[in-house]
Structure 1
Amino acid sequence: MTNADVIRRHYSLSHDPEVVADELYEGLYQEQTECVIFFCSVEYDLPALAEALKRRFGDTMLIGCTTAGEITPLGTCKGSITGFSLPKAHFAVEAALIENLHHFSFSDTSALLQQVMLNFNQKALLPVQGHSFAFSLLDGLSIREELVLKSLNDSLGDIPLVGGSAGDDLFFKDTQVFCGDRFYRNAAVIILVNTDCPFEVYSTHHLTPEDNKLVVTAADAEERVVLELNAEPAALEYSQVVGVPIEDLSINTFALNPIGVKLHDQFHVRSLQKVNDDLSLSFFCAIDEGVVLSTCQRGNIVEHLKQTLEELKKKVGQPQLVIACECIFRQLEIDQLDIRDDISALLKDYNVIGFDAYGEQYNGRHVNQTFSGVAIGMPNG
């Protein structure tokens, strides 16, 4: 196997778009490159970065998104760009851009995905079933993840799907995805990957439900806002149940005091975004009246990550690459516990590349506070 047959991983800490493009090209480009996927900080001049990348990589397929933090070959970073390239020898990739998510149409998207699947089947190296996965990147402020994922899930059939929602360093103002030659707001990118390499799609978290119950008694489901919990102002009731004064509630306290819901014998976190002036609570994902939420017990995030990565290694062998979409709340927890170095060491050891997201996608579900992605091993033989 030659160097041209393996996945390449690289990064840049420069903020000069031309330097970034040169450094990524040097580290990622292969003579037979099928696709380059990158994740970048919103600290960059995004139009200038797009121009520099396209000029340097030419006709190579480029896909990416903005982040709330990056996972690089150095471990966790801020204000950087990181990515990986897939070689044609072992990967066939087809991608599609879905625009105007605020006016999302199931019929239009279904027609688009039918054409994408047709092209994908023609390009595939091996039978699509059993040798393919889908990777999605969505505008993290679109509030359309659930609609898009339902459409994708219906179209993909048995192809496993995983992905993340683009971030913007917790400014909550401007999250973008990249496809082709520029960045897009209010959009999503779906990437279909066929490979002869072993792979494992995964999603995991280190949280277990407790007995405390919070029933959503009033909500604005369209805006993901809960007005009342247990028939009390939502923020006030949450504050009392988790034991944090209401004036101290913030995104950091939400990260350390998560709540979630049990669905089909699995526990799914429903991450809080902010307290509103009327003491309602905004969420990062779908929420509606009648949902019964529970507080969570946090496990040891370092040990849980180590166990997860080791289990992935057992399934695919030493990974060439672990693509990771990690909820920003996990990084907030990691920072408050001052264990970033421990986490970075693990991420480096297992060749993890990815980003901190405003929510993750896993097999048709929009999930929160998870570590989700795809582990890819070396090709057989």
Structure 2
Amino acid sequence: MSSGHLIRMGHSNRPQTLEAVQAFCDAIQQPDPALVLFFCSDAYDLDLVATELARRFTDLPVLGCSTAGEIGPMGCLDHSISGVSLSRAGFTATVGCIDSLHEFEVTDGKAFVDEQLRRLNRSTPNADAQNSFALMLIDGLSLAEEKITRSLQNALGRIRLIGGSAGDGMDFSKTLVYWNGTFQSDRAAMVLISTPLPFRIFKIQHFRPTSERLVVTAADMSKRLVTEINGLPAAQEYARLIGVPVDALSAEHFAAVPLLVLIDGTSYTRSIQKANPDGSLTFFCAIEEGIVMRVAQSEDILSNIQQSFAEIRAQMGPPALTLGFDCILRKLENQRLGLNSDMSSIFQHHHTVGLNTYGEQYCGVHVTQTLTGVAIGDARV
């Protein structure tokens, strides 16, 4: 099966909201779509975005979020809207929404997922882990990603979940998820997608652990706050470990030298959001007291992603579509190194649509400074 007629990608950076949304909608229009996914800068009038999308796509699942940058056919941009529509001829999709994330309990995930699976199986009775995956968008400032991701993945079983945390540029003020005609904070939405096309779920990070170990000796997990590392003020000890003065710590240092934790034999990045005046560190992920982490050493970010995509192509051929969730800290690193154009070209070559996030989800784990996603191919291999 060729996927060329099944997928329509769009990307617009027109400065006026209505013109941008209309150009995007025109690009992804197709006769019988099963789903629309979009990623939108909050520099636009999001109420107007919501109104226009609801007008253009009636009786159709439309899922999206605000971003810290958009990825699409035009590459990596700010102040744009990107996205994709998927045809019913090649895809089945069901979407469910969780509002009031602060009230969500881990046990709530099973009932939510079971309902989505029942809906999917009514239209695709043979849906399973071989032909289906789950994708989630979530409020990036909710501090709820860990419990939501873990709960949904446990309920999904072998069907794997990937996703991204919504952003708002570099403001860290209000992040929004769109579903059923409105943008809302404190919200997550999950779509189950089934397709006969080949696909590969992936996690790409360009860091490896060094021998430098550290122990979190005091933390407030609910606030993602670490107050002590190795029994010393967290910011002071982190600064010592990376060899800079504590009062010089900046977002560039956090992007260049994150920390890694080992989970079931796999390294996951634990990135720092900011250093606080009281000497504590705020992370993008929850950190428990007693956890052992290692200082990360960076590999070449371009070579790393090129190699990773080469492995995907070797497994399933060239992607017809890659849905990608790329951390804001990776974007900052690309900017610092002058690699924006190179990264845009790589994403365009692999037909990537997605966003820069405040965090990523991969198979039940909330991560940062990572590119997660799914590559969808043209034919079975």
* Residue 137 (structure 2) aligns with: 137
Question: Does the residue aligned with 2:200 lie in a helix, a strand or coil?
Answer: strand
Using the TM superposition, give the Cα deviation of residue 319 of structure 1 relative to its aligned residue in structure 2, in angstroms. 1.0
* Residue 156 (structure 1) aligns with: 156
Higher mean C-alpha deviation, range 119-128 or range 242-251:
119-128
* Residue 199 (structure 1) aligns with: 199
Map 1:1-381 onto structure 2 (within 5 A): 5-124=5-124, 126-380=126-380
Report the count of equivalent residues. 381
Question: Does the residue aligned with 1:318 lie in a helix, a strand or coil?
Answer: coil
CA contact (8 A) 1:326 1:356 kept: yes
Higher mean C-alpha deviation, range 16-25 or range 347-356:
16-25
- What CA distance in whole angstroms lies between the structure 2 residues aligned with 1:75 and 1:11? 9
Using the TM superposition, give the Cα deviation of residue 232 of structure 1 relative to its aligned residue in structure 2, in angstroms. 0.7
Using the TM superposition, give the Cα deviation of residue 110 of structure 1 relative to its aligned residue in structure 2, in angstroms. 2.6
Change (3 A) 1:246 1:115: same
Higher mean C-alpha deviation, range 6-15 or range 272-281:
6-15
Deviations 1:123-145 (A, max 9, x none): 22743231000001110001111
TM superposition score normalised by structure 1: 0.96
Percent of residue pairs bearing the same amino acid type? 39
Question: Does the residue aligned with 1:5 lie in a helix, a strand or coil?
Answer: coil
Amino acid in the other structure paired with 1:86: L
Deviations 1:258-313 (A, max 9, x none): 11112222111111011112100011112011111211110010011111111111
Question: Does the residue aligned with 2:302 lie in a helix, a strand or coil?
Answer: helix
- What CA distance in whole angstroms lies between the structure 1 residues aligned with 2:3 and 2:338? 37
Question: Does the residue aligned with 2:254 lie in a helix, a strand or coil?
Answer: helix
Using the TM superposition, give the Cα deviation of residue 2 of structure 1 relative to its aligned residue in structure 2, in angstroms. 8.4
Runs of 4+ in 1 over 4 A off after TM superposition: 1-4
- What CA distance in whole angstroms lies between the structure 1 residues aligned with 2:369 and 2:102? 24
Deviations 1:228-279 (A, max 9, x none): 1111110011111101221221222100111111222211111101111210
Deviations 1:319-340 (A, max 9, x none): 1101100111111111101111
CA contact (8 A) 1:6 1:320 kept: no
CA contact (8 A) 2:67 2:168 kept: yes
- What CA distance in whole angstroms lies between the structure 1 residues aligned with 2:88 and 2:338? 41
Using the TM superposition, give the Cα deviation of residue 3 of structure 1 relative to its aligned residue in structure 2, in angstroms. 8.4
- What CA distance in whole angstroms lies between the structure 2 residues aligned with 1:175 and 1:291? 29
Change (3 A) 1:76 1:3: same
CA contact (8 A) 1:323 1:375 kept: yes
Amino acid in the other structure paired with 2:194: N
